[in-house]
Amino acid sequence: MLNIRKSSVLVVVALLLVCVSSAVQAAVFSKSSVAAGRIETKDVIHPLAPQSLTQSNDPNTIVAGSVACSGGGITTDNGYWRLFSLDSLVGQFCSKNVDFAIETATGPQNIGANIYCLDEGLPFLTTFLTLVGTASQNQPDADLEFFNIAVAGCCDTQTQDMAVELRSDDCLESGGCLQLFIGSNNLGQTGATYISAPDCGIIDPIDVAAIGFGSMHLIMVVNGNDDATGDGGGDGGGDGGGGVPATTGTGVMLMIVALLGASALFLRRKATNN
């Protein structure tokens, strides 16, 4: 009788393990329950910064239609990425904070932001990424809303690209939350939107278009400073060179001042020689 009971317990445990395993294996990329195409537009006031990086044609409009790796309607840990070229800037580019949007979030959870540097010429794989800044904050329940997270990290503009990741909690594993779908739209972008999701078999960032979701354009704006100190939250990436982005008003003014100074010096020397 005792052996029969032990056998029954083992069978039940085995069945539970099979069920758990099946739930994990069943994780697939799916869309949220928010009505497809639902739109929320706000005049977002992005924090003042000498330079902001974005690949979104319209970073102020959320259009429902983002995807996440989930099982049974519960989302796993998803990484949402942008990879920025810094070639148009000079010195270092240092992030201060990142604007992002949430399509829907339910249950107590956090969202994280990671800043990485990638040496130019290397493939966009996690093994080649150098983490220079990270931060995490509480993510309240949300429905088509905009948020900002302070995170500091610096990359060299002449030799490196900057990869920025927004990462959600694994609600399927923790059981404390239900879902998080990042904010996106279908209004155009100048660079690819990438996603990573281990439970769906995606370890390295992959273009969402490659998995059939090309109309999902991640909303992200990286606001940076020009003194290379990065006074936002998280772990900074050093205080380095402090270059001024060439495309900012500050950079243009400095160039004009330098040219005027050089011209004045030239005219003074010419008058002296005469």
What is the DSSP annotation of 146-208?
EEEEEEEEEEETTTEEEEEEEEE--HHHHSS--EEEE-EESS-BSS--EEEEGGGTEEEEEEG
Task: Look at residue 48 in the predicted model and tell me its pLDDT.
Answer: 66
What is the residue-wise DSSP string for 63-130?
ES--EEEEETTEE---EEEEEE--TTS-SEEEEEEEEEEEEEEESSEEEEEEEEEEETTS-S-GGG-E
**Any domain includes 6:** no
Residue 274 domain-assigned (yes or no): no
Is the residue at 271 inside a domain? no
User: Is 14 within the bounds of a domain?
Assistant: no
The parent domain of residue 63 ranges over 26-261
Q: What is the DSSP letter of 237?
A: -
* Rounded CA separation 221/97 (Å): 9
| CB-based contact 104:32 (threshold 8 Å) | yes
Q: Specify the number of domains making up the chain.
A: 1
Q: Is 13 exposed, middle or buried (0-12, 13-18, 19+ CB in 10 A)?
A: exposed
Residue of 201, 136, 141, 150 lying closest to 176 (CA atoms): 141
pLDDT at 226: 56
Q: How confident is the model at residue 257, as a pLDDT?
A: 37
**Residue 199 is assigned to a structural domain of this protein:** yes
Residue 267 lies in a domain: no
The residues near 67 (Cβ < 8 Å, ≥ 6 apart) are: 29, 30, 31, 181, 195, 208, 213, 216
pTM: 0.75
* pLDDT tens-place string over residues 83-115: 999 999 989 999 999 999 999 999 999 999 999
Specify if 7 maps to a domain.
no
User: Chunked in runs of 10, what are the mean pLDDT values of the chain (274 residues)?
Assistant: 44 38 67 92 80 95 97 95 95 95 98 98 98 98 97 96 98 94 98 97 97 97 69 34 34 40 45 47
Burial readout 90-116 (b: 16 or more C-beta within 10 A, e: otherwise): bbbbbbbbbbbbbbbbbbebebbbbbb
Does any domain span residue 8?
A: no
